[in-house]
């Protein structure tokens, strides 16, 4: 038997003021996108913004449904939008923020499992890592250089062969 470990590295910033100008702009767009969320059931609004390889910005927000499985997360809304508007273009960086009604939004939260898998597929499709900026409306912000950091045992098309 061999014991093995996964380790991840990421950058941690005290708040948005420590980010570069470009990252701050993108993260601000993710915060703004939370206002477009439709979340009448959970009151948990998520916004995502992406910098495409062509320099364009795309955003998305979560869209809930009374039939819970029919809802879609902000990250996957963004991926669908990016693929529709800019087919064949990779995402360089994605920022994700959130706010909950009456709740503090002061710590980074990571994408759910299905979004991690969807983001991984996008990385694999374009053979380019997606930088990920995670944070709330205030407080600490994390930056990961690839989605693989959040999904070390990814499932891919290679597994289907």
pLDDT of 157 reads 84
Extract the tokens encoding 103.
């709740």
**Percentage above 90 pLDDT, the chain:** 88
Q: Which fold has domain 21-153?
A: Cytidine Deaminase; domain 2 (3.40.140)
Q: How far apart are CA 114 and CA 116, in angstroms?
A: 5
Is the predicted pLDDT of residue 159 greater than 90, yes or no?
no
Count CB-CB contacts under 10 A for residue 55. 8
Contacts of 35 (CB under 8 A, 6+ apart): 45, 47, 61
Whole-model pTM: value is: 0.95
Residue 63 DSSP label: B
- Specify whether the CB–CB gap between 48 and 61 falls below 8 A: yes
Q: How far apart are CA 158 and CA 90, in angstroms?
A: 20
pLDDT of 92 reads 98
pLDDT of 37 reads 98
Dihedral of CA 32/36/131/134: which sign? positive
Active site residues: 75
Q: What φ, ψ does residue 128 adopt, rounded to 5°?
A: -150, 130
């Amino acid at each position: 038997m061999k014991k093995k470990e996964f380790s991840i590295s990421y950058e941690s910033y005290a708040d948005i003021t420590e980010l570069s100008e470009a990252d701050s702009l993108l993260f601000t767009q993710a915060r703004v996108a939370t206002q477009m969320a439709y979340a009448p059931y959970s009151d948990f609004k998520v916004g995502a913004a992406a910098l495409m390889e062509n320099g364009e910005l795309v955003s998305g927000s979560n869209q809930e449904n009374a039939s819970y499985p029919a809802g879609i997360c902000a990250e996957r809304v963004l991926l669908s939008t990016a693929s529709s508007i800019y087919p064949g273009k990779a995402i360089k960086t994605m920022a994700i923020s959130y706010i909950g009604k009456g709740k503090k939004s002061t710590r980074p939260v990571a994408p759910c499992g299905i979004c991690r898998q969807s983001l991984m597929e996008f990385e694999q499709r374009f053979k380019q890592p997606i930088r990920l900026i995670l944070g709330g409306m205030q407080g600490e912000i994390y930056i990961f250089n690839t989605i693989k950091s959040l999904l070390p045992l990814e499932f891919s098309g290679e597994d289907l062969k």
